[in-house]
Structures are given as C-alpha cells and as structure tokens.
Chains A and B, each alone.
Chain A
C-alpha cells in the first residue's frame, strides 16, 4: 500500500477545499440558515410538532443529510473529474499507485469535506433551534457512513462524466429529487398511503430515517433496515468501482 501517495492525494484535495473556503463552508452555512428562517421560523411556526418534535428541530437531520449527500457527491465527482478535464490524470495513471489508493485518497478527502460541512450545519442548527441528540455516537456513525457512500457514488460519476454537463446531471436529476422526496422535510406518515408505498423504494428514506432516529430516538423504518440500506448502497458503489478499476473504464484507453 502506497500510504504516502494516499496522503499526497488527500492533502492536495483538502488544500483545494481550504483554498475555496468561501464556497466550501460559507455557502452551506448560508443556505442552511435560509432553510431555518423559511421552513423553521416562518412556516414551521404554523406547523404543529411532528412526532413530538418541533418542526424546526425535525428538519435538522434532513437538512444535514441533504447537504452532506450533495456535497459528498459533488466533491468526489469534481475531485476525480477535474484531473481528467485538465489532463493531470496522466500523473495518477503513471504513478506507482493502485486504483484503490487513488480512490481512498479522493473519496477520503471528499468525505472529510462533506463531514466538516455536515458538522458546521449541525453547529448552525443549534443557533436556530433547541436540539438534543439522543444517540450521538450513532449520529456520527450514520453521518460518516453517508459521507463515504455518497463520495463513492460521486467518484463513479466523476469517472463516468465526459463533460461538466454530465457531471451535474445525476446530482441534479437523481440525488436532489430523491433527497427532497426522502422525507428531509416531512414525516412519511404525513403522506397518502399510495405515496408512502412509493416512498419505500427511495433508498434515501432509510438513511434519513436512521439519522433522524439518532437525533430523536424515533424512526419511521427500523434501524436494522437503515443500516442494511447503507451497507447495500456502499457495496454496490464499491462493486462498480471495482469493475471500473479492472477495466480501466474511461480512465485508460
């Protein structure tokens, strides 16, 4: 294992993150604050508690998940796409590093950034709402797992994408709708029965439900199922990446 190389990639990627500090930190904080103002204070004040939790607090896990999922995907996809775009990928391909090491470096950095963003949003949330976390360790575990699994997805998208448009396509058309419809801002029980059934096919629901359980001790689906969903999603991503590495798909000609 070329640990030095993994570290080099990780540090290089994190430097990019800190170089674009404004974009990296301030924009998620700002957008989250806006969500709290609009949904929490303005609309939320007219909504009763949801499952015994004030609406402002209820949306916190969903908001964090929304940001973490989009950030992980965006970070990881951009991280590996950019070298392809500007041609510096030659260096990765000609270095004595395996694809696994390249992946660990990029996915690790993307997940770290997303985790930081998630924690910053959580910190921001404490400013706006009265919040208690029932299972802090489980909360962190869910957060970390989500960061990694969506960074893996982003890594795949970054390798697959041939242009910037494709890079945006899946996050825009798939991830954002799934997250919005995955119960970020509402409880599934609020939906008509038909939609409740349809919602069950949305994988994101299991992540958000599990994450929300870590906060409030109440879950819409069982924790076991949530964990299974994350594990399955991660396994699928790893399998796809394994295939990419074996074939050199869109990396090597």
Chain B
C-alpha cells in the first residue's frame, strides 16, 4: 500500500537562516499510529506545519493521499485534521459554533448528528453552548480535538496533545485515538513523553535537530528494550571470569567485584537460575544482585545524544 503521507527531502529554512528541517524524508503508512519523538525545538511542529500548510517548505515535496500539498492543496488538506499544540480558539464563540465553523471551512455540509456524536464522545455535549473562554484548559483541548475531527479527516495530526492535560483526558484521548484507528484513520502524534509513544504508537520516529534519526516498529524497539542486565556484586574481586561460566558471556566490572549478565525477558528461559547455581559451584560469594532495563528513553537519549 502506498504511504498516505509521503515527505521527500523536506527542508525548511526560516527567515533569519534558522534551518528547522534538514532534508526530512518520511513515509507514513495508512492506518498506523506514528509517534514522533523529539526534544523541544527538534522540528516536530515545523514538520507538521509544513504538511498541513501553515508553513511553506523551502525545498522538498510532500503528498497526502497522493495529492501534492502545493499543487493540489484542496485534495491534500481535506484529508487532514490538525490539533495544534497551542490552545488557539476564538474565546467568545460557543463551542458548537466553533466546531460547525471548522466543518464548514473544510467544505463539508452541516451535519448536526455527526457533530453531536463527536461532542458526546469528547464529553463536550453539556458544554456545547458554553463560550470557549469559560472552559478549562483541558476542555479547550477537547474542543480543539472536536474541531479537528469535525470534517471526518483520514489523517489526524496531534501536536503534543497531552501537554498540560490531566489523566482523565489523556485516557479519553487515547480511547478516541484507538477508535479512530479502528476506522482506518492514520494518526501522527508528536510528544516528548516516551511512555505515551510506548502506550499507543505502532511505529516510533525520533527527530532531532531537524533530522529524522530513526523510524522503527515499536515492537522492534520494544525488543531492544526487552533486554535486561543482571548485575552481580561479588564479595571478593576476581581477575578473570572462570572458564566454567564462559557460556554466559559475562562482562566483568573494572574493579573485578561485579559481573554483568544480559538476558531476554521475553525468552523462554532467562538463564538466571542456572547462572546463579553455576556461580555458587565456582565458589563465588555474592554480595548483591540487581537488574536494570534499557528503556525507550535510554535508546532515545542515546540517539539524540549521539547526534548532538
């Protein structure tokens, strides 16, 4: 299946010379949830802004659903819903009018039943006649989501959707996102919360300094994450690993007092029991045992750190 969003060598140099995107190429598959991870200022928002039409790319091309975002902007944009990072809403307007306006702007005929369904889904129905300025921050975020969904988009961009959002809304939001995915909507969310990407994404892209560092299946990343280290501290230092323990590929600490053993948590057997009894058989006395896990965060920090 061709990618629903395809970016090729997109470069954005802002007035003043700041290069926010440095030749970004990215294919987003239809129906997937892609999490774009990256620190502040990495280029996440710029990339979304270019795809959605708020910012002109300096170089490169993008197509959405096969429509070029410049030559056929109507075709491309009518597929896209955008939930921006900032709570940008007309403060004096009623919630329902604000949502209807968005639908109209995208050229869709008025459909009160559909708008009602969205507002109910987002627990906004009670507030439909409230003025936007009367709402709390979390409620405003919901209105932004309702606006983005008002025209039945096929691709939904969520730019830092959970910044400043309470647990309740976060839960609701993920439920909606999963529901949308079941309907075949492609979802791209940016975040710097790694747990979020872990919880919801199919694929994870890491962006830093205007470049995409990797785009990988979450399962693959999780597999990397699934590796754990067992750290064994010994009573007495040893000079080298006894021959009988060679099969475990242990790494000896610099002081000779510790041994590290890496294993797969998902494997049938972790080999820990055998290792411990073999250690005892070799006459080694243990002082302490601890385990640690490499998280997506470690991978992320490693990647971003290497690039910097």
Instruction: Show the binding face of A for B, using Cβ within 8 Å.
Output: 2, 4-5, 7-9, 11-12, 15-16, 19, 82-83, 86-88, 90-98, 248, 252-253
Contact = CB atoms under 8 A, between A and B. Distances in A.
Interface of B: 14-15, 52-56, 73-78, 80, 82, 84, 86, 88-93, 97, 100-109, 147
A86 B89 contact: yes
Given A87-B86, A248-B56, 5 more contacts: A88-B89, A93-B52, A94-B53, A96-B75, A96-B76
Contact of A94 (B80, B91, B107, B109): B80
Nearest to B103: A8
Contacts of B107: 2, 4-5, 96-97
Contacts of A86: 88-91
B93 to A, nearest CB: 7
B56 A8 contact: no
A90 B82 contact: yes
Q: Find the residue from A15, A93, A96, A252 having the highest chain B CB count within 10 A.
A: A96
Contacts of A252: 54-56
B105 A92 contact: yes
Nearest to B157: A94
B278 to A, nearest CB: 62
B88 A7 contact: no
- Top 3 A-B pairs ranked by shortest CB distance? A8-B104, A87-B88, A96-B74
A4 B102 contact: no
B5 to A, nearest CB: 14
B113 to A, nearest CB: 17
B133 to A, nearest CB: 11
Q: Find the residue from B74, B88, B104, B106 having the highest chain A CB count within 10 A.
A: B104
Contacts of A87: 84, 86, 88
A82 B91 CA distance: 11
Contact of A253 (B55, B73, B86): B55
A90 B145 CA distance: 14
B104 A7 contact: yes
Contact of B101 (A8, A19, A82, A96): A8
Q: Find the residue from A5, A82, A248 having the highest chain B CB count within 10 A.
A: A5
7 contacts: A5-B104, A9-B104, A90-B82, A93-B54, A94-B80, A94-B82, A253-B15
Contacts, number: 84
A211 to B, nearest CB: 34
Contacts of A91: 82, 88, 102, 105, 147
A92 B100 CA distance: 14
B74 A94 contact: no
A2 to B, nearest CB: 5
A9 B105 contact: yes
Contacts of A82: 90
B73 A96 contact: yes
A93 B53 contact: yes
Given A4-B107, A96-B73, A97-B105, A88 B53 contact: no
Contacts of B76: 96
A7 B104 CA distance: 8
Nearest to A92: B105
Given A15-B93, A90-B82, A96-B73, A5 B105 contact: yes
B220 to A, nearest CB: 32
B106 A253 contact: no
Nearest to B105: A95
Contacts of B90: 82-83, 86, 88
A86 B78 CA distance: 23
Contacts of B91: 86
Given A86-B88, A86-B89, A86-B91, A4 B108 contact: yes
Nearest to A16: B92
A86 B84 CA distance: 13
Contact of B56 (A16, A90, A95, A253): A253
B77 A95 contact: yes
A122 to B, nearest CB: 29
Nearest to A6: B104
B161 to A, nearest CB: 15
Contacts of B73: 96
A7 B55 CA distance: 25
A19 B92 contact: yes
A94 B54 contact: yes
A82 B74 CA distance: 24
Contacts of A19: 92
Nearest to A8: B104
A11 B100 CA distance: 11
B14 to A, nearest CB: 6
Contacts of B84: 87, 90
A27 B76 CA distance: 44
A8 B92 CA distance: 16
B54 to A, nearest CB: 5
A88 B91 CA distance: 10
Nearest to A3: B107
Contact of B88 (A11, A12, A90, A98): A90
B47 to A, nearest CB: 14
